[in-house]
Amino acid sequence: MSTDLSFVHLILNASLLVQLVMVLLLIASLISWTMIFNRRVILNKAKREADKFEELFWSVEDLSPLYNRITGKRYNASGMEKIFEAGFKEFARLRNQEGVDPETMLEGAQRLMRIAMNKEVDFLEMNLSFLATVGSTSPYVGLFGTVWGIMNSFRALGNVQQATISMVAPGIAEALIATAMGLFAAIPAVIAYNRYSNDVERLINRYDIFLEEFSSILHRHAHS
């Protein structure tokens, strides 16, 4: 008698716990793929905007028109634009007040730029922790389903007088599907997490360098 070892048959006839493990891994995989594509769009956009703003920033002599241009946009600034907007706005506010020394102006602008930068970094790193969690735990979740399925197969063998491969094969096969699904969920998540973490780190370095360079410009303006 032949045994149906198709994936659909094995999944439908798996034990309830193994099925729950498979469903959990499938949901985790779908969510992680959604986040992978979402982060890719966001990070690519952030890199393009950083390139565009840096080119514009270093091509102008007067920063006031650039600030007015950013604040006059219909959409909220982000990335370097947000850092520049926060720093320039605070610097201009303090400079218009009487009795404020240059160092206080600079420190206030730097503080606001750091806050804006941290908010941008938090946005860029959003969902990366989920990808890391999926990448690190999915193989173990799949392995748990595999162990449970194999254990059930061997328990069933204890109730028969003569064991055959056809009796063991379906249980072991359905159990191994859980391991395969765990790896299917984990591998893309790990690759995406490593890639995007590197991209975020490079953007952070660019933001930090811009912050220091802009601070130097504000320092000259404060003492002029």
Structure tokens at 190: 């790990």
Q: Give the residue-averaged pLDDT of 84-93.
A: 91
Mean per-residue pLDDT of the chain: 85
* Residue 125 pLDDT exceeds 70: yes
* Residue 75 pLDDT exceeds 90: no
* Residue 182 pLDDT exceeds 80: yes
* Residue 197 pLDDT exceeds 90: yes
Digit-coded pLDDT (tens) for 7-19:
566 666 667 777 8
Percentage of the chain surpassing pLDDT 70? 85
- To the nearest 10°, the Cα dihedral for 108, 114, 120, 124? 180
Structure tokens at 155: 């328990």
Q: Give the residue-averaged pLDDT of 146-169.
A: 69
pLDDT of 2 reads 47
Q: Give the residue-averaged pLDDT of 192-200.
A: 95
pLDDT confidence band for 191 (50 / 70 / 90): very high
pLDDT of 84 reads 92
Q: Give the residue-averaged pLDDT of 124-150.
A: 90
**Residue type present at position 85:** E
